[in-house]
Amino acid sequence: MTLAKVLSCAVVGLEGEIIECEVDVSRRGLNSLAMVGLPDAAVKEAKDRVESAIKNSGIRFPSGRIVVNLAPADLRKEGPTYDLPIAVGIMVAAGQQLSYSLGGRGSGRVPSAATADHGVDNDEQLAHAGDERDFAGLAG
């Protein structure tokens, strides 16, 4: 398996901080999902939400040891904000396709004006301000 890196963002005061969600899936060891990088209780509960969303989408949840690192480690991560990057990271690290919806609720639009592209290389650019990206089954 490979190490997957997915960028996210944390709001700290009035600023946005880039959060790197690094996921490693190893076929060796007992089935487990470990979260590191100073997550709060809601982020730790993402294990159950993400696993349920992936399984309920008809995608096979990988077996083995999964380690999710939310960097930088000195910044506290709060809330369910990281569910999507964790789910995408798990699927990428496990070699799964990403053309499915997570949760099966259909599709919608997400304005990306609030997305952070600070710190993203040109060949890794995620979104432009004012641009919109389709999403499927991710709205709560």
Predicted pLDDT of residue 27: 86
In angstroms, the Cα distances linking 49 to 8, 54, 82 are 18, 9, 11
Predicted pLDDT of residue 140: 37
Predicted pLDDT of residue 78: 87
Strand (E) or helix (H) holding 110? strand 107-111
Given a contact cutoff of 8 angstroms between Cβ atoms, the answer to whether 69 and 33 are in contact is no
Given a contact cutoff of 8 angstroms between Cβ atoms, the answer to whether 37 and 5 are in contact is no
Predicted pLDDT of residue 55: 92
Which CATH code for domain 3-100? 3.30.230.10
Cα–Cα distance for residue pair 6/63, rounded to 1 Å: 20
Mean pLDDT split into 10-residue runs, the chain, 140 residues: 88 92 91 88 89 91 94 89 93 78 47 42 41 41
Helix (H, G, I), strand (E, B) or coil at 88: helix
Predicted pLDDT of residue 50: 94
Q: How far is Cα of residue 73 from the mean position of the Cα atoms in its chain?
A: 16
